[in-house]
Homo-oligomer: A and B are copies of this chain.
Amino acid sequence: MKLLDIGEIAERSGVAPSALRYYEEIGLITSAGRKGLRRQFGPETLLQLSLITLGKAAGFSLQEIAGMFGKDGQPDLPRDQLHARADALEAQIRELTVLKDALRHVADCPAPSHLECPKFQKLLRAGSITAEV
């Protein structure tokens, strides 16, 4: 099995070496061992980093991401909790869709004040996050 050192991982994943060391420190990833002082990572680390990057973009904390996929990329969680996570993601996807539609609306609607535009308000309310206005 071919091992990669931190610079290689950094370059191919786009994650800075300092960040990779930090991730290891908090137990989010694990190095396969050391060559001298140098950490050696297995290639699966690249896949894990894809997941981590993905999760971060989604607004999850590193702790939450660690909870979804253990250090080794295996889930620590029981199935139903994973599905619950997936459900939460679906909800978030719906919210993002609302935001996206809101943006498209403001880009296109000629109304003077979007916040007063009924269509716009309806969009937001569809997000179900809206406070009781």
Interface residues of A (CB under 8 A from B): 12-14, 43-44, 46-51, 53-59, 68-69, 73-75, 79, 82-83, 85-86, 89-90, 92-93, 95-100, 102-104, 106-108, 113-116, 121, 124, 127, 129-133
Once the chains bind, are B121 and A47 in contact (CB under 8 Å)? Answer: yes
Task: Give chain B residues whose Cβ lies under 8 Å from the Cβ of A89.
Answer: 96, 99-100, 103
Once the chains bind, are B90 and A93 in contact (CB under 8 Å)? Answer: no
In the assembly, what is the distance between CA of A17 and CA of B68, in Å? 32
Once the chains bind, are B131 and A50 in contact (CB under 8 Å)? Answer: yes
Once the chains bind, are A106 and B46 in contact (CB under 8 Å)? Answer: no
In the assembly, what is the distance between CA of A68 and CA of B100, in Å? 11
Once the chains bind, are A13 and B131 in contact (CB under 8 Å)? Answer: yes
Once the chains bind, are B74 and A130 in contact (CB under 8 Å)? Answer: no
Task: Give chain B residues whose Cβ lies under 8 Å from the Cβ of A95.
Answer: 54, 57-58
Once the chains bind, are B103 and A86 in contact (CB under 8 Å)? Answer: yes
